[in-house]
Structure 1
Amino acid sequence: MNHQQLERDIEHLEHVISHISAEDRIPLSYWRNRIASVSGAALVPAQASRVKRLTAALSALEERQKP
């Protein structure tokens, strides 16, 4: 994945994750897979930090979803 595409993907995920809830039509597992695909790329430290924050935010949503 090239640097520009990777940056766009991270920006998109940051936007989406900040606006979704556990009750959205798209399951949280979809977003977990999207984050995983970005994390598998060669990230610079700033990107790795952003992906780590995305993972934490999604984990918090997943925790709220549990009964």
Structure 2
Amino acid sequence: MNHQQLEKDIEHLEQIISHISAEDRIPLSYWRNRLEHVSGAVLVPAQAKRVKRLDAALCALEKRQKA
């Protein structure tokens, strides 16, 4: 994945994950798969930090969904 596409994907996930809930019509598993795809790329430290924050936010949503 090229750097520009990776950056766009991270930005998109940051926008979406900050606005979704466990009850949205698109399942959280879809967003988990998208995040895992991004996580598998070679990331610079700043991107890795952003992806880590996204993972934490998505984990919180997944925990609320299970509760």
Name the TM tier (shorter chain): over 0.9
Alignment correspondent of 1:34 = 34
Q: Give the alignment of 1:1-67 within 5 angstroms.
A: 1-67=1-67
> What stretches of structure 1 of length at least 5 have no aligned partner?
none
Deviation at 1:66, TM superposition (A): 1.0
> What stretches of structure 2 of length at least 5 have no aligned partner?
none
Q: Normalising by the residue count of structure 2, what TM-score does the alignment of the two structures yield?
A: 0.98
Which residue identity is paired with 1:55?
D
Write the distance in 2 (CA, Å) between the matches of 1:66 and 1:31.
16
Q: Normalising by the residue count of structure 1, what TM-score does the alignment of the two structures yield?
A: 0.98
What is the identity percentage for the equivalent residue pairs of Structure 1 and Structure 2? 82
Write the distance in 2 (CA, Å) between the matches of 1:40 and 1:66.
26
Cα deviation code 1:24-53 (max 9, x no counterpart): 000000000000000000000000000000
List structure 1 runs of 4+ shifted beyond 3 angstroms. none
